[in-house]
Amino acid sequence: MTTQIGCIIGSLARDSINRRLAGKLAELAPPGLAITEISIRGLPLYCYDLDTSRPPAVRRFKSEISASDGLLLVTPEYNRSVPGPLKNALDWGSRPWGDNSWHGKKAAIIGAGLGGAGTAVAQAHLRGILGYLGMTVMGAPETCVPWREGIRSGTPGRMSWVNAPQLCDTLIITSIAGQAKLTCRSVAVVVISSGHCPEKI
């Protein structure tokens, strides 16, 4: 049976680097595990006036969360926190009161940013929010990607940069969840470890 991982991308940008990263992770998913986007596009701004007549985009969003065995959040960092569209989506999933779609879900976080910390601060904020929502979030390894064009997987378990191999040790294990203390198949088991990913992301 295939484990369904819902992937939530925290960026609406057409050329989002986090979307590219998410696409690569989906490609690398091992057999028996499918990573499929749960789009946050089209969600209105949250307002509890809409709780009693939820727009179709919200109903679609919540049902896709419920249908997922685990969640993978791939997000940029905006001003040292979570981007507004992602927070809005998290709010929608949590309501109406008594119908929190996030509760009990297992989750993993990854993010790519242009800053050197590679979304570390946003991830720390996101972790707090997801915990409050009743999710079990993989603690380590943290996967923060300071994005540079040409980034690619290389050394097993690591990413490296095509033009800056000396930086590869500062970069980030991209292994979501297999070794986490969560039920292994319930979160994304995405291991860029084989080095069989020669193409650029």
Ligand X SMILES: Cc1cc2nc3c(=O)[nH]c(=O)nc-3n(C[C@H](O)[C@H](O)[C@H](O)COP(=O)(O)O)c2cc1C
Binding site for ligand X (CB under 6 A): 11, 13, 16-18, 76-80, 113-115
**What is the spatial distance between Cα 186 and Cα 106, in angstroms, rounded to a whole number?**
6
Three-class SS state of 116: coil
Contact residues for 116 (Cβ-Cβ < 8 A; gap 6+): 146
Q: How far is the CB of 78 from ligand X (least distance, A)?
A: 4
Supply the minimum distance, in Å, between the C-beta of residue 56 and ligand X: 25
- Measured from the CB atom, the residue of 86 and 182 that comes closer to ligand X is 86
| Residue nearest to ligand X according to CB distances in the complex | 115
- What is the nearest approach in angstroms of ligand X to the Cβ of residue 163? 19
Please say which residue, 69 or 147, places its beta carbon nearer to ligand X.
Answer: 147
Which CB sits closer to ligand X, 57 or 78?
78
Q: What is the DSSP letter of 38?
A: -
CB of 176 to ligand X, least distance (A): 17
- What beta strand segments (E) does 41-197 contain? 70-74, 106-113, 136-137, 144-146, 151-153, 159-161, 175-176, 190-191
